Structure 1
């Protein structure tokens, strides 16, 4: 990189990291003074005379100019494997440029989402049920298999499971963090963090080293929805970050889908409320793909496997037990009650169905259909 370009970028990096001045105002300042270098070196009296910054912003601006080491900080940044993509860069995602509150810059590890691929955000409860876990995995996997990029926040629960589903489906997935892209949050997702970098990227509007503060997460949700064409909400309480993402998606003109659930479930109240307010009902990956207009049939080999599986005849007892199960967890006691069978018969049937791949025990004595 030419020395003059490197110097110019070091000032641009300073402006992107400037804390205490909003994104929109940063863009205006940069364009008003034809770049960050001139802005950094401007006389204080001149910028004060234009009354572009209030007292608090002016204090943050002056403090940063006094304390920021332009060359040293940028060289340290360049030693890492993180890219800095400001809003005026050709690499900056076009979908984000359409947002009034677009980030001034993105800090990226790995790749950024391709503009020509459909993208789905999958968000939901951190403490999801087995039902939510299975649906997040299924939607992530099937959409990825059919050409969708999966975007989420790498949080516990639905977010992380949706990323994993996309990876299982051989697709691309991108995590938007509420901290610097060099920080894996939550820590227990370290393996997922590494795997996402192999098949996608980690993005943030926060510079490297920024800790995951609660105030960052509502703001990052606008990026998750902004990078996506559709937003899927898989389980959400009445007041949750997922509903913030859904609201932002609607403001951005994105289609919002919500997974229905039992009216007695706290985890489904947010989704059921979204549906009541007009969100699309999320029923199955196949139906969503058909509605999205890019439905692709599963490969012949997969169809053959499914056909073969459907032709397998179950024993009458197994068939009865299987008929009482669906994608929502059901206890062994409830199955006994609904089938009228003896405990030994039900247990034998459950074991046989699980060995054949028809059902899955998601927790002690609670079962769901595999798909």
Structure 2
């Protein structure tokens, strides 16, 4: 899959749009789909601003962007990296179908690896010795079976799974909650370098963007969207891994969980997932058996894509909440007003857990129905 010339007008237009404040992935996907290209959005922004109710701050940026910032982003891409946009035929098919897909991905490494059949392995940063051993064992066996391990480059389970896949001679994909040039946590810099050479580092955040707590649920929905299924190794009931699992379930992906001791607090999240319908897993072979037909189907699509890499212009997808909004989403919207409310207050109003609320609020925010006002507070748009 060959990268286009980084200096072209369309790439610069995409970089300008991705830096625009208050636009968001859903709005950007809609704009470029409507206009036909990123350059056409910039050329026709005056005509589009009423149709799409473009925010004044966004409009001001699109009319007079920071040229030095855009040039710096283009210089990062010139180092052999790739900006994979919503209109790019190489944009990974599974992620495109996820409903909350980012408008573009910054990729450092092998873009083709994003089309490989993937299994996400996630879990606690402070995993037990047994949890780390399980992460390594499952990653090794799943990689040997032909599945690419995808995770979030965090300490604990994520790092153990990435390293084991690399040690098994397989590619691995790390989705980041920071810009592509800022490895977080820094202690994983050596691991990130290995992944860059045998897989890919992926993020929706432009260069120079620091990791922030609210970035990680966004990262998690990309992990879920790229993967055929998600395996949760160890997790507390407040773990971000449960957000990844919830997002995977909302996207129609398989969710697997390892059981543990009732005395281990990091087993409680997995047990909660199992009670909610995740498949209890004891061996890697069970996952391979479940995902093999899906992997074969994805392989067929990859072969077709390589034979004819130019798809029809994609329409903006319908997000999971709109597609099949369940009672919980309705309950959350009913509990939200037009004044900011904290996540803890929403939990009291709805009776829903914090992990479930976090994933639902992320989807509703990406869909344009909810605004995050910072500090973990939300309101209806």
Give the TM-score, by structure 2 length.
0.71
Larger radius of gyration: 1
Alignment of structure 1 residues 222-241 onto 2, 5 Å: 222-241=221-240
Point out where structure 1 has 5 or more consecutive residues left out of the alignment: 295-371
Displacement of 1:3 in angstroms is 8.8
Name the counterpart of 2:318.
none
- Return the offset for 1:68: 2.3
List runs of 5+ in structure 2 lacking aligned partners: 294-381
Aligned-pair distance for 1:292? 3.6
Q: Cα offset for 1:64?
A: 4.5
1:75–1:236 CA distance, 2 compared to 1 (3 A): closer
Give runs of aligned pairs for residues 314-353 of structure 1, distance below 5 A. none
Change (3 A) 1:205 1:32: same
DSSP-derived class of the 1:91 partner: coil
Query: What's the CA shift string for 1:271-322, capped at 9, x where partnerless?
Result: 011111111112022333344447xxxxxxxxxxxxxxxxxxxxxxxxxxxx
Q: Is 1:191 aligned to 2:190, yes or no?
A: yes
Q: Which one of 29, 32, 45 corresponds to residue 30 of structure 1?
A: 32
Q: What residue is the counterpart of 1:17 in the other structure?
A: 19
Rounded to whole Å, the distance in 2 between the matches of 1:2 and 1:198 is 20
Report if the CA contact (8 A) 1:121-1:231 is conserved: yes
Give the total of aligned pairs.
290
What CA distance in whole angstroms lies between the structure 2 residues aligned with 1:37 and 1:87?
A: 13
Moved more, 218-227 or 5-14: 5-14
Distance in 1 between residues matched to 2:248 and 2:6, nearest whole Å: 40
Query: 1 CA distance for matches of 2:60 and 2:132?
Result: 48
- Aligned residue among 65, 74, 88 for 2:63: 65
On the 8 A contact 1:126/1:159 being kept in 2, the answer is: yes
Q: CA deviation at 1:82?
A: 2.4
Asked if structure 1 preserves the Cα contact closer than 8 Å seen for 2:21 and 2:57, the reply is no
- After superposition, what is the alpha-carbon deviation per residue over 1:213-245, rounded to whole angstroms, capped at 9, x for unaligned? 111100111110111111100110011100000
Aligned to 1:208: 207
Residues 154-186 of structure 1: CA deviation (Å, up to 9, x unaligned): 000000100011011111100000011111111
Change in 2 beyond 3 A, CA 1:61/1:73: farther
Residue 254 of structure 1, CA deviation: 0.8
Q: How far off is 1:20 after superposition?
A: 1.5
Asked if the contact 1:124–1:233 (Cα under 8 Å) also holds between the matched residues in 2, the reply is yes
TM-score (norm 1): 0.73
1:7 paired with 2:9, answer yes
Alpha-carbon RMSD across the aligned residues, in angstroms, is 2.3
Report if the CA contact (8 A) 1:16-1:86 is conserved.
Answer: no
Instruction: Determine the structure 2 residue equivalent to 1:353.
Output: none
Shift of residue 83, structure 1, vs aligned partner: 1.1
Q: Deviations over 1:168-217 (max 9, x none)?
A: 11111000000111111110011101111121010001111111011110
2:102: which partner in 1? 103
Query: How far is 1:115 from its partner?
Result: 6.5
Q: Counterpart in 2 of 1:139?
A: 138
1:232-271 aligned at under 5 Å gives the runs 232-271=231-270
Alignment partners' CA distance in 1, 2:249 and 2:36 = 34
Label 1:69 to 1:195 Cα distance change in 2 as closer, same or farther (>3 A): same
